[in-house]
Amino acid sequence: MRIHKLQIQAFGPFAGSEEINFDELADGGLFLLDGPTGAGKSSILDAICYALYGSLPGSRTGSRQIRSDHAASDLAPEIVCELTIGDRRFEVTRSPAWMRPSKRGKNKTTEQKASSLLREFTGSGWKELSTRNDEVGHVLGSLMGLDREQFTKVVMLPQGGFADFLRAKAKDREDLLANLFDTSDYARIEEEFAARLAEERKNTETIEARLSASEESIAAEAAAFLAGREVPTNSEEQDDAALLSVDDRFADFHRRIDVLRAQADEEAQKLRVQKTRTAQDAKKLEEQQRVFARLGELRATQTRYAQQHEGATIAASKLEHDVKAVSVQAYLAQVKTAQTTKHESTLSWEKHQLWLNTALELDCGSDLQALEDLRERALAAAEEHAVAKSAVEEEQKRTLLAAQVGKAEQLATEHKQTRDKAQAEVAQLKTEREKLEAEDVDQVAAGENLQQVKERQQLLTTQIEHATVRDDLEKKVLLAREKASAQELKIVDTEKSLLALRTEQLNQSALRLAAALEDGQPCLVCGSAEHPAPAQADADAALIDDEQILEFEAAVASARSQGQKTAQSRDMLLAKLETAQQAAGENTVEQLRLDLGETQKTLEQATKRQTEVAARVKKLEQVRQRVEQLTARVAQVTLEHATAVQNAQSLAEQLKQLDAKLTELRQGKDNLAALVAELSQQSNGLSGAVQSLQLLHDAVAALDKAEATWNTQRTGAGFATLADFEAALLDAPEREQLRQIQRTDADLASAIATLEQSEDCRKALELETDGLRAPDEEQILEAAQLARAAEEQFEVARERVVLAQTRLERHDESVGQLEKLRADAGPVIESYRRLRSLAEVIRGGGENLYKMTLSTYVLAARLEEVAIAATERLDAMSGGRYSLHHDDSKQGNSKSGLGLRVLDSWTGKYRETQTLSGGETFMASLALALGLADVISHHSGAVDMQTLFVDEGFGSLDAETLEEVMQALENLRAGGRTIGLVSHVAEMKQRITNRVSVLKTQHGSTIQREGLLTLSL
């Protein structure tokens, strides 16, 4: 960034318009900005900052005392700065808010708002970029890569501030660095780690609570199971158990539960043997009862079989003959069906023979040859009928086609008439359209003119209202000012009276002291006990007491209170008057009303014009639309006329061809319908006759075949005659009765065979041989009761075994789940511990011995860069004696990392920055400022700063040190930089002849350019 030119007008101490050409100063590289204290040297730097950012630097930010008090009342304050950023040249013009003269404003002034203008020089000249106050600063700051605070530190180097930074404590130094270097990302990292730590802590506490709850649950369940089931332990064993670890306690629970399980299993085995023995005894008695019951069942079944077996043999013989008769019964039914079909077919054929003889005079026999001849006649009649029927449709189409020909010719005529009429109307409308287009049809201009007049009318109406209020307020303000002035005079008079009374009371001090003197008592002033010449009052003089003073003070306070009220009333009226003046302008009510009358006339004319133009535009649009519609209609009707002519010609040709075809097909008849009816009757009659004769031949053949099959099947089944067949055939009830007798006999025989072969009957016979009988119910009931009692005792014992085994398995399963939960929770807990350690380090605790937060650590790194950059300049300024070093040594329980020390190469020892002399502090501060400027520019991505200013501090340097500092500044301007030194030290004028002097007078300061450009060569 390079500044080319600066123009200042009515700004700060500068009453008029002043200009500095920095391009001329840049030829010498180094220039001096000098002048007496208070002349306005720093105001030039303020003007540059205000031009770029719209506000003053440092502690003067927000000040409204910008306009010069020495400037003429009507001269606007303005700063114009021309500069280059990168390869782009800009001109920024700013004017701060100020109170300009006004005829009707408060105190005859009104506030002029602040304004800004940013322009860029392009190939075609200056181009306006922005007029917004905030946007101008944002654009320039973005291009330079610096905000206002950074710019004032990089380009304008106030040495006093950096001397404070050099000697500041770590906390104050951290605040300044945090403003210069953005560490918000690292602060967010600290917040993110704190949030993650809180979340992980919550998760870890939840997991640990689950582990503790699981351990307590396992122990409680095991203890509850063991309670009442094992022998109570003595107090010594209980104490030993309390000293066991959690895992050892769980193992002890496993051992004790397993002992209970083994005891229950041993008892269950004993009861199992008893249960088996009693169950076997009961089962043996039940078995004896069952086998004797089976033996009784066998003997009863044998008796029944012997009683009904003879009747079953007779029934089997009858059923055998019935089966044979049923097997050939269907063949007899087929013969009867064939006889019926032959009779019906014979009757149908005789009817068709009669029709053939009567209608066609055809004598037809019934043999196969007659059938074949009849079929050929039927086919020929069907073909002839089909040809005639298809021609009927053609004959029906002929009437429709003739009607279509007539309609097509009529339609062609109508289309021609429509086309001619539309063409004539189009020609007439085009003439009307041309006439309308020649008149005024600018509806937009008429509307804009009407809107402008309406806005003017509304503005004048509002101004008249405000002007009326303004005139009324001017009278009220005048009265309020007179009242306030009168009250101020009253306050002055009252205060003068109070002052005179106090003066008189003071003058009467000697009289008061004299009145208080007593003979022989020491004087309050000199201490003497003798009073040779006490003060004497005039005979008519009255002493003023404190009560009188209080009365006058109350009167003054009352006058002041009333004065405040009148002043407030006056100021309120003045504020309202100023608002009304701004809204009404400077014209009178009469003038505004005249303007309103003229505007009303103009509004009527504009309204009339807008109405006429609107009607004309509407009519023109209607004519245009009608022309377009009729033109399209002409084209459409022309096409439709050509199509209709072509269609009429085509239909006439089709009608001619159809008439020739129909004449040939009618075969001399009047129409084809009569011919088709005659041919249809012949074809249907011949087809029916063929079908009837064919059915008769089929029925004769089917009857012969059915009779032959019936005779063969009947004799094969053993029935010589039809009577034998009918005698063997049974009816359904008799057949079912015989089958039931046969089934009952077979079931009894099968049951006897099964029982005789069964093991139960064999055992019963053996027991009967041994002299045993079936046991009674009392013996069986007693054995069953003994077996149930033994089984119940065994089940109780077995349940104790299962319960102990289940408890043991659940205990082991719970312990296993606990181990798995511990394994899963281990990484989570370990991760939380690592995160906690890392978070503590980031926020300056834990293993962070330097007590630095992450943001402080980043700032410490920046400070180290600043110290390295500053040392490059300080080494040259101090002749190699001093260098700045970053100090991160531990500071007890306080933060570390933001310390600065100075290394004195003469002694080889580090010194605190507070031990430097005034000149040494200036050199270190200047070097620190330059180093900080370099680091800020590097990290903010700022453009190269070609124009720098160094403000004050040279008066504290001796001649030798000043020479070294000047040499360092000479090196700093290498590469085309322009360095401005702000100082009022006389020796600086002798060393730097290329300078800008600020001259201070009682009428304001001025700027004078001194020195020759050739001096820098």
- 3-class DSSP state of 154: helix
Residue among 82, 112, 83 nearest 98 (CA): 112
Using pLDDT thresholds of 50, 70 and 90, give the confidence band for residue 89: very high
Give the span between the Cα atoms of 27 and 1016, in whole angstroms: 7
* Mean pLDDT in residue range 624-633: 82
Q: Give the pLDDT confidence score for residue 786 in this predicted structure.
A: 84
CA–CA dist 852, 849 (Å, integer)? 8
DSSP lists the bridge partners of residue 117 as: 93
Contacts of 966 (CB under 8 A, 6+ apart): 991
Q: Tens digits of per-residue pLDDT, 758-793?
A: 888 888 888 778 877 778 778 778 878 888 888 888
pLDDT in tens, 149-164: 777 776 765 555 566 6
DSSP 613-662: HHHHHHHHHHHHHHHHHHHHHHHHHHHHHHHHHHHHHHHHHHHHHHHHHH
Lowest average pLDDT, out of 433-437, 828-832, 974-978, goes to 974-978
**For residues 778 and 780, what is the distance between their CA atoms, to the nearest angstrom?**
5
* Residue 250 contacts residue 218 (beta carbons within 8 Å): yes
- The H or E element spanning position 949 is strand 947-951
Give the tokens for residue 485: 């002035």
Highest average pLDDT, of 266-270, 282-286, 832-836, comes from 266-270
* Across 198-212, 322-336, 442-456, 613-627, least confident range: 198-212
Can you state the percent helix, strand and coil of the chain, rounding each to 5? 70, 10, 20
> Model's pTM, two decimal places?
0.40
β-pairing, 30-34 vs 995-999, is parallel
* pLDDT class of 14 with cuts at 50, 70, 90: very high
Q: Is the pLDDT of residue 1014 over 50?
A: no
Nearest-angstrom CA–CA distance, 795 and 271? 9
**H-helix or E-strand spanning residue 933:** helix 918-940
> What is the per-residue burial (b if ≥16 Cβ within 10 Å, else e) of 621-633?
eebeeebeebeeb
Give every CB contact of residue 556 below 8 A, 6+ residues apart in sequence: 491, 494, 495, 498
- Asked whether the predicted pLDDT for residue 82 surpasses 90, the reply is yes
State residue 882 phi and psi, 5-degree precision. -110, 150
What's the 3-state SS for 352-379?
HHHHHHHHCCCCCCCCHHHHHHHHHHHH
Query: Pairing state of beta strands 109-112 and 882-887?
Result: unpaired
Closest among 53, 55, 152 to 97, alpha carbons compared: 55
Share of the chain above pLDDT 70, in %: 83
Secondary element (H or E) of residue 998: strand 995-999
Selected residue with higher pLDDT from 803 and 839: 803
What pLDDT, on a 0 to 100 scale, did the predictor assign at position 942?
55
Distance between CA 695 and CA 372 in Å, rounded?
14
pLDDT band at residue 6 under the 50/70/90 scheme: very high
* Strands (E) located in 62-133: 78-85, 88-95, 98-106, 109-112, 115-122, 125-130
Is the pLDDT higher at 528 or at 402? 402
The CA-atom distances, in angstroms, between 710 and each of 283, 338, 558, 723, 726 are 68, 12, 155, 14, 14
The pLDDT, as a whole number, for residue 573 is 83
Q: Report whether pLDDT(175) > 60.
A: yes
pLDDT tens string 462-501: 888 888 888 888 888 889 888 888 888 888 888 888 878 8
Nearest to 580 by CA among 99, 109, 105: 105
DSSP alpha helix (H) spans, 145-245 = 148-154, 159-167, 170-180, 184-226, 235-242
Alpha-carbon distance of 165 to 736, in angstroms, equals 130
Q: Give the whole-angstrom CA distance, residue 294 versus residue 97.
A: 130
Residue 872: pLDDT band with limits 50, 70, 90:
confident
> pLDDT at residue 61 above 90?
no
Of 404-413, 501-510, 637-646, least confident by mean pLDDT is 501-510
Fill in the amino acid letter for 535.
Answer: A
Distances (CA, A) of 995 to 38, 720, 979: 18, 162, 11
How does residue 901 score in pLDDT terms, banded at 50, 70 and 90? confident
Token reading at 420:
């001619």
Q: How far apart are CA 947 and CA 927, in angstroms?
A: 17
Q: Which residue has the tokens 């008061």?
A: 512
How far is residue 836's CA from residue 829's CA, in Å, rounded to a whole number? Answer: 10
Q: Where are the alpha helices (DSSP H) in 438-508?
A: 443-507
Residue 86 has pLDDT above 90, yes or no: no
Measured between alpha carbons, how far is 724 from 188 in angstroms, rounded to an integer?
A: 119
The Cα 979–Cα 28 span in angstroms is 9
pLDDT digits over 549-584, tens only? 888 888 888 988 898 888 888 878 887 887 788 777
pLDDT in tens, 650-699: 878 777 776 777 676 666 666 667 777 777 787 788 888 888 888 888 88
SS3 assignment, position 730? coil
Tokens of 141: 């700051």
Q: Reduced to 3 states, what is the DSSP secondary structure of residue 282? A: helix
Q: Is the pLDDT of residue 795 over 80?
A: yes
pLDDT at site 763 = 81
On the question of pLDDT at 80 being above 90, the answer is yes
Q: How confident is the model at residue 973 (pLDDT cuts 50, 70, 90)?
A: low
- Treating both helix axes as pointing N-terminal to C-terminal, what angle do 854-877 and 170-180 enclose, rounded to 10 degrees? 90
- Answer positive or negative: Cα dihedral of 140, 144, 147, 149: negative
Quote the pLDDT of residue 119. 94
**Mean pLDDT rounded to a whole number for the chain:** 79
